[in-house]
């Protein structure tokens, strides 16, 4: 009898649990809301919350803007620091801390006139000595700045004027100053002078939020900067006015994708990146808007020093065989999240987008590829793909599709998979790999195209270097376009890489979050408001 009562009790408890679970509110993501449009007419009048929680997917390795190479770092840095210029949504440089800039006729001297009365977060006024110290450090620390401005200096002209004297014209100077990675942030001279080898120790900028606390690998707190002086103009990309309507921004590190997503469902966060698996749970839900933001620029990089791919005909064979749509589909799993693009620049980039040489893009002609392999005398040597399953596994997925396409035309292949740190080290060694397929941060000017550089995939071609230099030293818009087209045309002939396409990431945003702008996945939180 006792046993029967015990059994009955257990069954009742289990039934009750299942009942509670089954009858529970299933509308975690269905909070009714009128609109998620930032411009909602009544949004401005509604009372807002004073705090915004923001989940970061990757650990913040540094808050030093000059050293930061993206990821979660930039989410924080871009809201604390500012540069002389900032990109708008068309990737055009727009003045931020600069009032105006004069460029000499020969294109070798840039004179920056600074906005006056701008205060750092330590209440000190920004002056030319701070700008010069910051930008001279930036050009020493940031590899792309070192390449472009290594021999030049930012000099103080007067209290509110700084000059850059170049040895050769550099037409992308303002774009380099606007780029979000290795960000050319302005900070007080004292912060620059006291910087340790691993980075600055005081995070003092001029941005709309000031640094409060950083608990390493846990969270970063910033608060509204009361003395922030906004530029005029509508917010666009990272340019334009910034008028934060919250008091505190709490960035939490939440590395696990499902934890981030579940926390969004419970309302802890108002914004989250959404994987394809999770999309059905938030798609078409009232109160939630799904948007997509540019994520990566996918390329197949050839090791030009490898025995197989030092031969141009073998590179042409690979390029001829590629079906980029299949590769992109295998990478992001849906046509909604990729875009075919033959240019090395994004379509939004009004100054540098070019379709020159695009007849070599997405050829998908295995028979012709086989002929090219015969012509090159490929002897069946195994080619090694270098990849990683880190970063969400997308590099690995893309690599497998390329591998399958190349095996069909007769290449013997092997995939070497490592963790990200090991992969970086292996990639620097020209003797251990042949092909690397991966996503790059979307570049904004040709001088940022890493794979035209001898250190990345080991491109070593005098004509390519000459055309690259010509594209950045041209002075008029017409000359720049001509030089840029010539560069891209030749790039498709030389094949340092084979361009695959651009990918996007889905984000879910609750309609209580107003005024957010996502630029290539990085948030401009300068105008956000969180409705109660």
Q: Which residues bind other proteins (CB under 8 A)?
A: 3, 6-7, 10, 20-21, 24-26, 28, 59, 61-62, 67, 69-70, 143-144, 146-147, 181-182, 196-199, 201, 215-218, 252-256, 258-259, 262-263, 265-266, 268, 390, 418-422, 424-426, 428, 440-441, 448, 450, 453, 455-456
What's the closest the beta carbon of residue 24 comes to other proteins, in angstroms? 5
Answer yes or no: are the C-beta atoms of 157 and 107 closer than 8 Å: no
What's the closest the beta carbon of residue 22 comes to other proteins, in angstroms? 9
Q: How many residues does the chain have?
A: 532
Select 98 or 450, whichever has its Cβ closest to other proteins. Answer: 450
Helices and strands in the chain: count of H runs, count of E runs: 15, 22
Select 190 or 390, whichever has its Cβ closest to other proteins. Answer: 390
What's the closest the beta carbon of residue 371 comes to other proteins, in angstroms? 35
Whole-number Å distance between alpha carbons of 357 and 342: 8
Residue 444: CA atoms inside 13 Å, Cβ hemisphere, count?
Answer: 22
User: Alpha helices of 197-342 — where are they, by DSSP H?
Assistant: 257-265, 279-282, 312-321, 324-332
Select 114 or 272, whichever has its Cβ closest to other proteins. Answer: 272
Give the DSSP letter string of 246-260.
Answer: -SEEEEEE---HHHH
Select 353 or 440, whichever has its Cβ closest to other proteins. Answer: 440
Answer yes or no: are the C-beta atoms of 453 and 479 closer than 8 Å: no
Select 8 or 334, whichever has its Cβ closest to other proteins. Answer: 8
Residues 6+ apart with CB under 8 A from 137: 66, 192, 195
Select 325 or 440, whichever has its Cβ closest to other proteins. Answer: 440
Residues 6+ apart with CB under 8 A from 164: 109, 110, 112, 135, 149, 152, 153, 154, 155, 173
What's the closest the beta carbon of residue 392 comes to other proteins, in angstroms? 14
What's the closest the beta carbon of residue 31 comes to other proteins, in angstroms? 12
Select 147 or 358, whichever has its Cβ closest to other proteins. Answer: 147
What's the closest the beta carbon of residue 524 comes to other proteins, in angstroms? 22
Residues 6+ apart with CB under 8 A from 245: 48, 515, 527, 528, 529
What's the closest the beta carbon of residue 231 comes to other proteins, in angstroms? 29
């Amino acid at each position: 009898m006792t046993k029967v009562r015990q059994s009955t009790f257990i069954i009742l408890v289990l039934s009750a649990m299942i009942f509670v679970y089954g009858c529970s509110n299933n509308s975690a993501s269905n909070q009714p809301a009128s609109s998620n449009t930032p411009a909602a007419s009544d949004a401005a009048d509604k009372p807002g919350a004073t705090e915004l929680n923001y989940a970061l997917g990757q650990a913040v390795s540094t808050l030093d803007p000059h050293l930061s190479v993206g990821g979660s770092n930039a989410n924080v840095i871009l809201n604390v620091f500012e540069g002389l210029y900032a990109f708008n949504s068309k990737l055009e440089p727009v003045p931020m801390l600069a009032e105006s800039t004069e460029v000499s006729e020969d294109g070798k001297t840039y004179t920056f006139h600074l906005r006056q009365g701008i205060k750092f977060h330590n209440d000190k006024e920004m002056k030319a000595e701070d700008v010069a110290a910051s930008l001279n450090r930036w050009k020493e620390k940031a590899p792309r700045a070192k390449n472009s401005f290594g021999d030049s200096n930012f000099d103080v002209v007067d209290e509110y004027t700084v000059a850059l004297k170049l040895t050769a014209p550099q037409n992308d100077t303002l774009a380099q100053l606007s780029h979000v990675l290795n960000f050319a942030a302005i900070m007080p001279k004292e912060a620059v002078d006291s910087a340790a080898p691993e980075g600055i120790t005081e995070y003092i900028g001029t941005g709309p939020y000031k640094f409060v606390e950083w608990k390493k690998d846990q969270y970063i707190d910033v608060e509204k900067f009361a003395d922030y002086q906004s530029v005029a103009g509508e917010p666009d990309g990272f340019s334009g006015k910034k008028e934060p309507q919250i008091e505190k921004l709490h960035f939490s590190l939440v590395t696990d994708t499902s934890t981030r997503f579940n926390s969004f469902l419970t309302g802890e966060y108002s914004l989250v990146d959404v994987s394809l698996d999770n999309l059905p749970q938030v798609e078409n839900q009232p109160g939630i808007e799904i948007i997509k933001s540019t994520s990566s620029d996918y390329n197949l990089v050839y090791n030009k020093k490898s025995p197989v791919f030092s031969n141009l005909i073998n590179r042409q064979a690979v390029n001829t065989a590629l079906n980029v749509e299949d590769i992109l589909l295998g990478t992001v799993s849906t046509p909604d999240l990729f875009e075919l693009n033959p240019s090395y620049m994004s379509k939004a980039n009004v100054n540098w987008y070019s379709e020159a040489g695009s007849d070599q893009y997405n050829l998908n002609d295995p028979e012709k590829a086989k002929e090219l392999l015969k012509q090159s005398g490929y002897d069946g040597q195994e080619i090694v793909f270098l990849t990683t399953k880190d970063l969400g596994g997308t590099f690995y997925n893309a690599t497998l599709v390329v591998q399958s396409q190349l095996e069909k035309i007769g290449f013997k292949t092997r995939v070497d998979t490592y963790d990200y740190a090991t992969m970086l080290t292996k990639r620097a060694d020209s003797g251990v790999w042949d092909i690397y397929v991966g996503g790059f941060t979307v570049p904004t000017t040709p001088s940022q195209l890493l794979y035209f550089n001898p250190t990345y995939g080991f491109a070593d071609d005098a004509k390519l270097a000459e055309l690259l230099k010509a594209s950045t030293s041209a002075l008029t818009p017409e000359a720049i376009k001509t030089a840029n087209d010539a560069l891209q045309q030749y790039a498709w002939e030389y094949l340092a890489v084979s361009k695959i396409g651009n990918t996007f990431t889905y984000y879910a945003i609750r309609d209580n979050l107003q005024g957010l702008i996502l630029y290539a996945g990085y948030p401009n939180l300068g105008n956000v408001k969180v409705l109660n």
